[in-house]
Structure 1
Amino acid sequence: MTEQPAPYRPNPMLKRLEHGIENVLFNSRWLMAPFYLGLVGCLAVMLFKFFKKLWEFILLAPSASENDIILGALSLIDVSLVGNLILIVVFSGYENFVSRIDPGDHPDWPEWMTKVDFAGLKQKMLASIVAISAIQVLKAFMNIDAVFDAQKMGWLVGVHLVFVVSTLVLALSDRWSGDHGGE
């Protein structure tokens, strides 16, 4: 007759220690909440910057050239896109890494806010960065008559192309891995 090995019984002390460590790790996600609150503060600063630029734009508009109007509008769009980027990071970062957001009974709650996973967050962030970068290149191009610096223009276009290629590579890798942006 062969002896049966005794069934495994975990040490209760080690099991409690493991559970305690897992609790600390799980609850450490709340350390990210102040970062997202700080980004909300950053969004308020961007709002202030937007209104400051808008006021300057309005004051200079009567005597501004067509190029100046376009450059002013592009500056406002640029600040708006950065604000959108901050908002995307705040909502999807909080939802993905801290806690689920309960939209409750908010009828105008945007559908995407609680449905962007980490892959979708990366894609939306890179798309926003590409748009912001494109605006910077366009602003430099629109200002080419006033100040032309070939080296600066080359760097702007080069960095923009790096962002574009990075975004395309990320989108392709997500598609090949079967992740379609989390939506």
Structure 2
Amino acid sequence: MERAIERVLFASRWLMAPMYLGLVGTLAILLWAFVLELYHFALQIPQMEVDIAVMGALSLIDLSLAANLILIVIFSGYENFVSRMDTHGHEDRPDWQSEVDFSTLKLKLVASIVAISGIHLLKVFMDLEKYPAEKITWMVVIHLVFVISGVLLALMDWISNHAKAMKKSAK
């Protein structure tokens, strides 16, 4: 009975595979949004001012950061929770692919969220008159919460790794 339960539990990891495929679909949607944003950005070239150029570039960077984040989640999530990808012989295999464990994944996610939030704030700061002061305040507060969460998460991982290292050296 115990073996049967363990087999079912172990096989249940494959329930995550459709979610990672769904994230691939999300990448396709982000690509579509990127192409549309690039198209609208390019249409503005004849009358483009510096602020519009910076805002357009920030929008494209924002979309690419979100896509990078999704790709990291797909690769590392699949390898950490479902199955190893058999891509060791492939010349384009990312160096980080098998090195991103759950702890590193959390830090990369938080860092990406902080970067995306920072880009949104920068876009708001470039067009301040468009936003009410209360909304800007809340955006800054939320951004700071992301930053502090990231620092605390990194600190917790550092403490955990330091404790593990001390435990190993005590043996």
Which range, TM-score by smaller chain? Answer: over 0.9
Deviation above 3 Å: which 4+ runs of structure 1?
none
How far does residue 77 in structure 1 lie from its aligned partner after superposition?
Answer: 0.3
Could you tell me which residue of structure 1 aligns to residue 167 of structure 2?
none
In angstroms, what is the RMSD of aligned CA positions? 1.0
- Partner of 2:117 in structure 1? 133
Q: Does 1:83 align with 2:67?
A: yes
Classify the secondary structure of the residue corresponding to 2:128: coil
C-alpha deviation, 1:62, in angstroms: 1.8
TM-score (norm 2): 0.92
Q: Which residue of 1 aligns with 2:150?
A: 167
- What is the TM-score with the length of structure 1 in the denominator? 0.86
Matched, 1:36 2:36: no
Q: CA deviation at 1:58?
A: 0.4
What's the secondary structure of 1:151's corresponding residue?
helix
SS in 1 for 2:153: helix
Aligned to 1:64: 48
Which letter does structure 2 place at the counterpart of 1:97? F
* Unpaired runs of at least 5, structure 2: 163-171
- Are 1:149 and 2:139 matched, yes or no? no
Q: Deviations over 1:138-169 (max 9, x none)?
A: 00000114x14101110111100000000000
Structure 1 residue runs of 5 or longer lacking an equivalent are 1-16
- Report percent identity of matched pairs: 56
> Whose helix proportion is higher, 1 or 2?
2
Please state whether the residue corresponding to 1:177 is helix, strand or coil: helix
In 1: Cα distance, 2:46 partner to 2:65 partner: 26
